Amino acid sequence: MTQPILPHTKPISLADITSQAERAVAMMEQIRAAMLAPTARKFAPTFSLTQLASMLDVEKGSVSHRMGKGDLPAGRLNASGSRREFTLAEVRTWAREYRKDKMRPAGAEAVTISIGNFKGGVSKTTTAVTLAQGLSLLGHRVLVIDTDPQGSLTTLFGILPDTEVDESQTILPLAMGHETSIRYAIRPTYWDGIDLVSAAPVLFGAEFALPARQTQEPGFEFWRVLDLGIDDVRGEYDVIVIDTPPALSYTTINAFMASDGIIMPLPPNALDFASASQFWSLFADLANELLTKRGLDKTFDFIHVLLARVDAADAASTVIRQWIGQTYAEKVLPVEIPKTAVTGVASAEFGTLYDVSKYDGSARTFKRARDAYDSFVGYIESSIRAVWVRQRSGVLNGSTPEAKESKR
């Protein structure tokens, strides 16, 4: 067998790497422009009368009858006049009306949820965005915070981190102590009901700023920066979703400490299972070092493990799913996100399954994926509503409001 030989290359300098980076950024801009032509901006999907009725869990006739009252958006006929279409904002108006009993009650505040995992490629960012989109379709107002310097979540909202995000639109000024509220960084998105705090490579600076402040500022608690930073806006949103880096970094610790709940997407394969075990061990050690030794505590209202990227044809995954069930028990959600072509196509177009207005592939495959995500969102909404009940009864993050305030 002939040994393959790579062509000879000259030594690669830092200038070469810089040039390569510039080419990569330029290529990303070209790809986005092509995918999102002609405006290079994302637009939310529209919805048919059938889709609206399905999301409201009522018959089409019921929606048509209610439209006759004139108190809810009637949508508009498409160009051919063949069907009635509703904008995302109109769908959300219907959802808030039909689901009044499931909206955030008076006296409750935003439930904060971190999406975390020790490694990349586990659908962490996709889970964060689909959760936010799914909750917004149910009528909730969501703030999404991207704390990963890679900015993958920011990219899914149609914004290029390298060229369209500056430091003032990230949590870096908060980490550096230049700001005390995250309000400065909040921006609207193409998706009605979702606001965004974006991320960019400059956010790597937070990993230096936070430990530096810990050593230089007496009484400073680096793990509480984000928690305190979102206090100012908790009353303006129903849910705050935080996407974290694929590492137990200073920003990840901040996200977890600011959260009422944690969701870990976990594909059923051996390497991901092992990585997750290490993640929880390290987090427990860090939490004990930061809090327990200082006489402090932190409780979560829920921790959910979501089986993601599940390949039904992979025989080995059956065994690993058993491992996951035995390890995490009731924390494992009773829904699995299948690995399908649908999510791959959506991702290639800088979107998620909820961005897809019309899928050109198998309708059965699309329904299977959509039903799984809808179920996932439904389970999380039930956890959110349970937290609201506890908030109204005077319990916040496992302590009374007075106790929580005394820790600040």
CATH number for the domain spanning 153: value is 3.40.50.300
Between 30 and 405, whose confidence is greater?
A: 30
Q: Which of 69, 98, 127 is the last residue of a domain?
A: 98
Q: Are residues 360 and 260 in the same domain?
A: yes
Encoded tokens for 17:
């790497």
Domain membership of residue 15 (yes or no) is no
Residue 348 is assigned to a structural domain of this protein: yes
Between 314 and 230, the more confident residue is 230
Q: Is residue 40 part of a domain?
A: no
Residue 365 in contact with residue 341, Cβ under 8 Å? yes
Question: Which has the minimum average pLDDT: 23-37, 322-336, 339-353?
Answer: 23-37
Q: Would you state the pLDDT for residue 118?
A: 80
Same-domain check for residues 78 and 126: no
Instruction: Tell me the per-residue pLDDT of 80-126, one tens digit each, with 9 for 90 and over.
Output: 888 899 999 999 999 999 999 999 999 999 999 999 988 777 889 99
The CATH number linked to 85 is 1.10.1660.10
Q: Does residue 179 share a domain with residue 53?
A: no
65 found inside a domain: yes
Predicted pLDDT of residue 51: 93
For residue 267, say if its preceding peptide bond is cis, omega within 30 degrees of 0: no
Question: Quick one: pLDDT at residue 23?
Answer: 75
pLDDT of residue 39: 54
- Average the pLDDT over each of 54-68, 112-126, 247-261 and give the range with the smallest value: 112-126
HSE, CB side, 13 Å, CA atoms: give it for residue 367: 5
113 lies in the same domain as 74: no
Do 109 and 86 lie in a common domain? no
In this structure, the answer to whether residues 88 and 109 fall within a common structural domain is: no
Burial class (CB in 10 A: 0-12, 13-18, 19+), 70: exposed
Which range of residues forms the domain containing residue 346? 105-381
Residues 244-267: what's their mean pLDDT? 94
Tell me the backbone φ, ψ of residue 137, rounded to 5 degrees.
-65, -25
Do 215 and 363 have their domain in common? yes
Task: Residue 89: count other Cβ atoms within 10 Å of its Cβ.
Answer: 12
Backbone angles phi, psi at 207, to 5 degrees: -70, -15
End-to-end C-alpha distance for the chain, whole angstroms: 68
Residue 214 or residue 23, greater confidence: 214
Among 73, 112, 67, CA closest to 92 = 73
Of all residues in the chain, the percent with pLDDT exceeding 70 is: 89
pTM of the model: 0.89
CA distances from 133 to 28, 35, 144 (A): 24, 20, 10
Give a yes or no: residue 6 inside a domain.
no
Question: Is 2 within a domain?
Answer: no
Domain count, the chain: 2
What pLDDT score does 188 carry? 97
Identify the top-confidence range among 26-30, 157-161, 177-181, 364-368: 177-181
Report if residue 243 sits inside a domain.
yes
- Residue 4 included in any domain: no
Quote the pLDDT of residue 177: 96
Q: Are residues 356 and 275 in the same domain?
A: yes
Q: Which two tokens stand for residue 137?
A: 């379709």
- The answer to whether residues 179 and 312 belong to one domain is yes
* Residues 158 and 226 both lie in one domain: yes
Q: Which residue from 152, 237, 229 is spatially nearest to 198, judged by alpha carbons? A: 152
Same-domain pairing of 357 and 242: yes
Same domain, 115 and 79: no
pLDDT score at 32: 59
What element of type H or E holds 77? strand 76-77
pLDDT (0 to 100) of residue 96: 97
Q: How far is CA 342 from CA 19, 224, 338, in A?
A: 35, 39, 10
